[in-house]
Amino acid sequence: MNFDFYSGELILLNKPLTWSSFQAVNKLKHAIKQHPSLIVNGIKTKPKVGHAGTLDPLATGLLIVCTGKKTKTINTLMGMEKEYTGTFFIGATTPCFDLEKPIDQVFATSHITEQLLLETTKSFTGKIQQIPPAFSAVMIDGKRAYELARQGVEAEIKPREIEIKTFEITGVEMPLVHFRVECSKGTYIRSLARDYGAALRSGAHLTALCRTRIGTYELKEAVTPQEFSERIKQY
């Protein structure tokens, strides 16, 4: 196998838990720049390296990294349908809708049945309006929403249209509810957790998330940053 990082490589990466997307891409950049094909006349050259859509540190799964001319396809890749699996905790919320911050409110769950959990998913399929989390990378007046949130500024985040093609409950172990979602670009699963909990007349937050597919690219084809670093040394 020969790598051509200037003509372009598309690398399917399995992002580890707690790693930021920036850390994962930097690990690949470091491995790539050591490759013999990038040493020309004794000088190391640097092809472009970029990724198609970030994952939160507490999420795992598929991250597509492009090099060289393949970076021109990043916008197309980002626009593709995504698939996620994960777990909601029913009966409590956090300010960021996941485990990065502690629980701030607790709600009743005695009225929630498995039938209600299944029925409630129907109101979230199709094209819907969703408000992104305050702790997100959404731009507000030139600043990231998470920057304002960390400063204690309550900024208005406008809803946006997204499409959820599939919202499937795959297991119930109350208070944990496991799910699978197929959705459009711009969908925040953390916001889905918040809205799903509210629709249940309770609360919810995300405790686990894995991106399993982007378009036709699947997680089962991906390698970890460490596996890529080891593999590249062989070629």
Check if 56 is active-site.
yes
4, 56, 98, 195: the active-site residue: 56
The β-bridge partners of 105 are 93
Say how far apart CA 88 and CA 120 lie, in whole Å: 14
- For Cα atoms 225, 226, 227, give the angle at the middle one, nearest 5 degrees: 95
Say how far apart CA 230 and CA 14 lie, in whole Å: 14
Which burial class, exposed, middle or buried, applies to 234 when counting CB atoms under 10 A from its CB (0-12, 13-18, 19+)?
exposed
Phi, psi at residue 28, to the nearest 5°?
-70, -40
Catalytic amino acids? 56
